[in-house]
Amino acid sequence: MPTNPTSSNPAGKAQCTPDRPANPSDESIESSDLFKGRREIIIRHNNERYILRITRQGKLILNK
């Protein structure tokens, strides 16, 4: 019989775990803080190089 995911959490809120903060906005970073006036930045992840760009329309594009 399936269990009700909110039965142990009466408020129905997402539970805080080590890999999931209680409030995701607490862990957010403003793009302006990353870009500091530039249109692209280089991000290194797992020994790989990625380029994060802001488009003319203000959207973000991530390329390897």
What is the CA 5 to chain-centroid distance, rounded?
A: 24
Res. 14: pLDDT tops 80: no
Res. 16: pLDDT tops 80: no
Residue 19 belongs to a domain: no
Residue 46 and residue 40 in contact, taking contact as beta carbons nearer than 8 Å: no
Q: What is the number of structural domains in the chain?
A: 1
Residue 10 belongs to a domain: no
Mean pLDDT for the chain? 81
Of the two residues 9 and 49, the one the predictor is more confident about is: 49
Res. 22: pLDDT tops 90: no
**Which residues form the domain of 59?**
30-63
Of the two residues 58 and 10, the one the predictor is more confident about is: 58
What confidence score (pLDDT) does residue 27 get? Answer: 84
Residue 8 belongs to a domain: no
Residue 49 belongs to a domain: yes
pTM for this one? 0.58
Residue 38 belongs to a domain: yes
